[in-house]
Amino acid sequence: MVAGTVAANVGLRTMGVRAAGLPGLPARYSRRIEVPGRLADDGVTRNWHYLDTADALSEAGVEPVGTVLAVHGNPTWSYLWRSLVTRSVEQAQAGGTAWRVVAVDQLEMGWSERTEVTRTLEQRIADLAAFSEALGLIGPVVTLGHDWGGVISLGWATEHPELLVGSMLLNTAVHHPEGTPIPAPLRLAGARGMLGAGSVQTTAFLDTTLSLASPPLDRDVRDAYRSPYSAPARRRGIGAFVADIPAAPEHVSFPRLERLADDVAQLRVPALMLWGPRDPIFSDRYLDDLADRLPHAEVHRFAGAGHLVIEDAPVAESLLTWLDDRLPEGAPVAAAPVDSAAGAAEQPDFEPLWRRLDERRTDDSDAIVEQRGSGAARRVSWRQLDDRVARLAAGLHRIGVRRGDRVSLLVTPGATLTAVIYACLRIGAVVVVADAGLGVKGLHRAVRGAWPAYVIGETKGLAAARALGWPGVKISAARLPGATATALGVSHSLKDLLDTRTTPELPSEPGPTDLAAILYTSGSTGPAKGVTYTHAQLSSLRDVLSEHFAITAESGLVTGFAPFALLGPALGARSSTPEMDISAPRTLTARAVAAAVAETDADIVFLSPAAILNVVATADALDSTDRQALQGVRTVLSTGAPVSRQLLTALVGVLPNASAHAVYGMTECLLVSDITLDTLPDEDTGHTGVCVGTPIGGVDVRISPLDEAGRATGAPTQDADRLGEVIISAEHLKSQYDRLWLTDRAAVRDVADDGRWHRTGDVGRLDDDGRLWIEGRLPHVISTQDGPIAPVGPEQAIETVPLVRRAAVVGVGPEGLRQCVAIVETNPGTKRVQLAEAQLAAQVRDASPQPLVAVFVVPELPTDIRHNSKIDRTRLSVWAEGILAGERLSAP
């Protein structure tokens, strides 16, 4: 057991609070200790209060593998860590890994001694060192800090490398950018006349901090936080902490913070950062800085959480999970980061995306044909594109863009965006792509989460960036009038970066394992997530496209699907994006496709399922010239969500000579499997769901069978006809989710002796021929008394009823005993929500392979705003339960 000298084990009961302890914190964890002081306290012994689980672990007969040293900030105290204290003991008692948790009350704070000493940052780091020495703390130690406790815990960590094995941080900061004002709440709290009034004489600062919790804290919990600060004399430390914020170089603590920031960048132990992005003080600006200093750290941003992130989100459980993952026996298990140069040596055949530009830099044939609303087209040759990319790359590097810097792109697809992306990739900058289809809220979440160092945008995007306070140096796609540029905070334009007088000087090329891009998901299956790709993974994606679809330098591509709209130059093929709002695929018309095909002499067309629906719907507007152009298309690809035989058949009616492919994939792995209309199995095979074909490009697909509760717990298999979650492995699979460690962890499935696989969240099965059938999403599985039911099969059966245009099957009732409900659109449609008439209800029930407790008719099924092929079954399930429970019949 870790040694310690405890002078008085009197507990919370001697501090004027009830003997039973405080809400969520049993009194038995409370301790006191006398600690010889240092620096200004030299020769003086100070009395500290702290929480300690050592005795509880000893009573349970458990030896801890190490100690978590937890340090609170201002104006909280060790009560902040109560959930970690109690859960860590519960885990150990249940047979899990045991970690001793020691949570201090810093001097002047909580129930520790009040002194007359001015406690600077240097003093507080020395205080913590004195405390740990008096406690007899030995390694291994993992530090944990929040707010200014994060800074102090890191100060201890950098000075005790012999004991340190890991570091965990909640919202904190070790560096503030020069020339940037400190957050407004701290400026106000520290202002002359306000410091004493707001922090000491009244409880304003304390109350404001506690009010940041979301949802609000229970009254007894707020009272517990306030309990050590009942009088002004007890609150002097709160004001002193505010006064010690090193906001300017002349501040006494500024040099120590600067030195600490440099020292933190040298830490090589495993690290974790859990963040509340709604923090008005420690914003994502500080998370980004810490991530740069600790690039190996796992990071998770809890959407909706704020400054008191441990009160807002499951932080205690996450901390213990991370300790189990990274320090299972108190020692690190994580591999060191891969060196890019070493990675390049291991991949001698690696070709970066810009290599075709190098090869064709003297070629005057078309590389990009950009469609314009006037009917005219802008043509950019390979020579022009290569020159533009090189000069933009040099210009970006000249203004400070460096390898690893994140660059958010708010530019519509076309020649300009293509040149900017390839310029960024060439110098190793990381492109951040989140399109306007996410909506203002989703786009704001994405850009703030990525925290780009630079933003390149058109006027509309830059206006949003200005209004919403997005970070980064602003670069305009077009040269703006001076007043407009000033109003939008624009520092440069792309034209300013194009120095045509000299030969571009470029830095060394990034390596295959360097991060290249962060692509945001559509948000159709939850909040949009940033999917990270390395250069090698993007190049692997290019190679799969090229090889599987026989794309050559003679090919012409029309891409109505944003991710592939930018790969034309990488493939060495001329390309064009048809006239449309690329963020709203349903705006694409058949005539726009025909115009793009004619201008590009295209033989391959990429479309999303939502775009296909509108192309088919607008085909009657095609004239003879349009139809003649479309006859030259040899391949058309539906990419993304699974599509039906009916939709592919209708598409071939528009492109009569094309082989129609349905490519199944997702942002995390854009190419998983492929099937053609000609090879789609007959509808009477007995299989349910949508057949998406066989894996391509080295993708490996397995099924994790569902248990009775509908959870994907079964051992991954390639056996036929096993319903379960689809998991995949591929060279062009994403690296991880950006700053969403817990989400990424949940999406990874470790397969014995076969590495890590991605959990797609899709449910399906393989058939005897190795073809994959998709039957819905895992959250939409209905757990009935007879076992799990995937929704797509019953929906397909119901859609054979002549009056039914589209159907959704959802569950109602308790888990494990859920009943099925059908909600249908009819043809002709209805204008109001209603229970199905007896005849239709009987036909639907007869067609459904599952018993139905109700059949509803609605004017329109709710779908994702960008993917109208994706029915929002979760929303429908909640709606149906409410209606059946007696709520008023209303539209879902």
Question: Where residue 791 sits, what CATH number does that domain have?
Answer: 3.30.300.30
Distance CA 595, CA 21 (A): 75
- The structure tokens 């310029």 sit at 423
Confidence at 248, pLDDT banded by 50, 70, 90 = confident
788 found inside a domain:
yes
Closest of 127, 111, 115 to residue 38, by C-alpha: 127
pLDDT of residue 560: 81
Distance CA 881, CA 887 (A): 9
492 found inside a domain:
yes
Are residues 77 and 50 in contact, defined by beta-carbon separation less than 8 angstroms?
no
What is the CB-side half-sphere exposure of residue 227 using CA atoms within 13 A? 22
By residue range, what is the domain housing residue 747? 681-779
Please tell me whether the peptide bond between 228 and the residue prior to it is cis, using omega within 30 degrees of 0.
no
- How many domains does the structure of the chain reveal? 4
Tokens standing for residue 345: 């040596």
**Domain identity same for 789 and 773:** no
pLDDT of residue 62: 95
Are residues 671 and 696 in contact, defined by beta-carbon separation less than 8 angstroms?
yes
**Domain identity same for 704 and 769:** yes
Average pLDDT over residues 424-445: 87
Phi, psi torsion values for 30, nearest 5 degrees: -80, 135
Average pLDDT over residues 781-799: 93
β-pairing, 604-607 vs 659-666, is: unpaired
pLDDT of residue 14: 45
Average pLDDT over residues 550-557: 92
- The angle that helices 439-450 and 459-468 make with each other, rounded to 10 degrees, is 70
Kindly report which listed range (235-239, 369-373, 529-533, 549-553) carries the lowest average pLDDT score: 369-373
**Domain identity same for 149 and 283:** yes
pLDDT of residue 776: 92
pLDDT of residue 524: 63
450 found inside a domain:
yes
pLDDT of residue 373: 67
Strands (E), 376-508: 377-381, 406-410, 430-433, 454-457, 473-476, 490-493
Burial of 547 per CB tally in 10 Å (0-12, 13-18, 19+): exposed
161 found inside a domain:
yes
**Domain identity same for 36 and 161:** yes
pLDDT of residue 176: 81
Boundary residue ending a domain (495, 515, 535)? 535
The H or E element that residue 218 is part of is none
Tokens standing for residue 245: 């914020």
Distance CA 132, CA 127 (A): 9
30 found inside a domain:
yes
**Cα four-point dihedral sign 293, 294, 296, 297:** negative
Cα 461 to Cα 240, 447, 464: the distances in Å are 43, 11, 5
Residues in Cβ contact with 25 at an 8 Å cutoff, skipping those fewer than 6 apart: 12, 51, 79, 82, 85, 86, 224
Distance CA 887, CA 442 (A): 31
Cα 64 to Cα 52, 167, 326, 350, 532: the distances in Å are 12, 17, 16, 47, 37
376 found inside a domain:
yes
Distance CA 191, CA 193 (A): 6
pLDDT of residue 583: 66
Residues in Cβ contact with 522 at an 8 Å cutoff, skipping those fewer than 6 apart: 437, 438, 528, 667, 864, 866, 867
787 found inside a domain:
yes
- The angle that helices 645-654 and 609-617 make with each other, rounded to 10 degrees, is 50
For the stretch 805-849, pLDDT in tens is: 989 999 999 999 999 999 999 988 888 999 999 999 999 999 999
pLDDT of residue 221: 97
Nearest-10 Cα torsion for 554, 559, 564, 568: 30
Residues in Cβ contact with 482 at an 8 Å cutoff, skipping those fewer than 6 apart: none
Confidence at 334, pLDDT banded by 50, 70, 90 = low
Share of the chain above pLDDT 90, in %: 74
**Domain identity same for 752 and 826:** no
Q: Where are the alpha helices (DSSP H) in 399-436?
A: 415-427
For the stretch 496-533, pLDDT in tens is: 999 878 888 899 999 999 999 999 887 666 678 999 99
Confidence at 756, pLDDT banded by 50, 70, 90 = confident
Residue 309 has pLDDT above 50, yes or no: yes
**Domain identity same for 139 and 118:** yes
Confidence at 7, pLDDT banded by 50, 70, 90 = very low
Distance CA 175, CA 292 (A): 11
For the stretch 199-222, pLDDT in tens is: 899 999 999 999 999 999 999 999
Confidence at 340, pLDDT banded by 50, 70, 90 = very low
| Strands lying side by side in the sheet with 530-534 | 490-493, 473-476, 454-457, 406-410, 430-433, 515-520, 530-534, 736-737
**Domain identity same for 502 and 473:** yes
For the stretch 618-638, pLDDT in tens is: 999 999 999 999 999 999 998
Phi, psi torsion values for 465, nearest 5 degrees: -60, -40
Confidence at 196, pLDDT banded by 50, 70, 90 = low
Nearest-10 Cα torsion for 170, 15, 38, 242: 50
**Domain identity same for 811 and 878:** yes
pLDDT of residue 18: 38
Name the DSSP class of 564.
Answer: H
Confidence at 13, pLDDT banded by 50, 70, 90 = very low
pTM of the model: 0.90
Tokens standing for residue 421: 């992306």
- The structure tokens 């533009």 sit at 388
What CATH number is given to the structural domain containing 523? 3.40.50.12780
Kindly report which listed range (203-217, 350-364, 661-675, 853-867) carries the lowest average pLDDT score: 853-867
Distance CA 716, CA 705 (A): 7
- The angle that helices 382-398 and 415-427 make with each other, rounded to 10 degrees, is 50
**Domain identity same for 271 and 307:** yes
Confidence at 687, pLDDT banded by 50, 70, 90 = confident
For the stretch 54-86, pLDDT in tens is: 999 999 999 999 999 999 999 999 999 999 999
Residue 686 has pLDDT above 80, yes or no: no
pLDDT of residue 6: 34
411 found inside a domain:
yes
Distance CA 601, CA 603 (A): 7
- The angle that helices 254-264 and 121-134 make with each other, rounded to 10 degrees, is 60
Boundary residue ending a domain (735, 760, 779)? 779
What CATH number is given to the structural domain containing 114? 3.40.50.1820
Closest of 400, 144, 185 to residue 283, by C-alpha: 185
Of residues 704 and 8, more confidence is placed in 704
How does the average pLDDT of the chain come out, rounded? 89
Average pLDDT over residues 535-558: 94
Report how far apart the first and last C-alpha atoms of the chain are (Å, whole number).
59
Burial of 686 per CB tally in 10 Å (0-12, 13-18, 19+): exposed
Residue 378 has pLDDT above 90, yes or no: no
| Strands lying side by side in the sheet with 852-857 | 804-812, 819-826, 852-857, 834-835
Distance CA 575, CA 297 (A): 39
**Domain identity same for 811 and 758:** no
Kindly report which listed range (194-198, 543-547, 548-552) carries the lowest average pLDDT score: 194-198
**Domain identity same for 861 and 755:** no
Residue 727 has pLDDT above 90, yes or no: yes
Closest of 401, 457, 467 to residue 430, by C-alpha: 401
**Domain identity same for 757 and 791:** no
Average pLDDT over residues 347-374: 86
Gyration radius of the chain over CA positions: 30
Boundary residue ending a domain (326, 359, 377)? 326
